Amino acid sequence: MRLPIKNDPGSSKTASPTADSEKFAPFADRTSRDLRNGLSVAFARALDTGRPDGYHQVARRWRACTLSAGCRHYLENRLALYDRVMAAWTARLDSSPTAAALELWNLGLFFEVHEVVERVWRVARGGRREALKGLVQAAGVYVHLEAARPESAARLAARAAQRLDRWRKNLPEISNLGELLEALAAHPAVPCRLAAAGGGPSATLHPRGPQSKPEYPPQA
């Protein structure tokens, strides 16, 4: 289930950021990868408290570093999106991590979906655990596609669809799981929007249009 290695933002083993490239390229550049992983871990942990302080502190440390234009754009973009998700999530009646994962999914933040849901999956049991693993794998499909790894994405999509179909009753918070299964079958570059059971799609967040691309920094 593991995606590219995550570094704990508080660990002494985290690499010191340097500007290796003008691009944000987490699958090729160590600094980009550490930035992405550190921010996503900090955001997932912030859901435990419902406060943004943790990931803002991580962001401040990165701002003090010499970063490429692409990394700096990614940092500010991600921070704004995290604040948006946090505000929407804390305003919802359902303040579970999986509810936050739906908000993240509908903004195309699939690496963060993987991070958030995996934390829940680790402590779940039975069919719920299997269903959550399927959702983690589904997010991983689109992470692979963002990295231009279509063959890996296709293999993971098949496994995710099989697991989600078998254990779908254990994800009652997603009302349109069938649409996700159809999307995984074709593994399109832009997946379907996930709808929250009982409330329809997240009313506070507006997904990108079907022809839009993820909100990544320009690759100059």
Query: Per the CATH hierarchy, to which homologous superfamily does domain 95-202 belong?
Result: TTHA0068-like (1.10.3450.10)
Query: Among candidates 27, 25, 13, which has minimal Cα distance to 71?
Result: 25
Res. 90: pLDDT tops 60: yes
pLDDT tens track for 150-205: 999 999 999 999 999 999 999 999 999 999 999 998 867 778 999 988 754 443 33
Total count of residues recorded for the chain: 220
Res. 6: pLDDT tops 60: no
pTM beyond 0.75: the answer is yes
Judged by DSSP in three states, 37 sits in helix
CA distance 41 to 82: 12
CA distance 102 to 88: 11
Name the segment(s) of the chain with CATH classification 1.10.3450.10.
Answer: 95-202
Share of the chain above pLDDT 70, in %: 78
41 CB burial (10 A radius; 0-12, 13-18, 19+): buried
Bridge partners of 195, per DSSP, are 201
Are 182 and 192 a contacting pair, CB within 8 Å?
A: yes
Query: Among candidates 205, 120, 204, 207, which has minimal Cα distance to 170?
Result: 120
Tell me phi and psi for residue 201, to 5 degrees. -60, 155
Half-sphere exposure of 70 (CA within 13 A, CB side): 18
Angle between helices 69-91 and 97-105 (to 10 degrees): 130
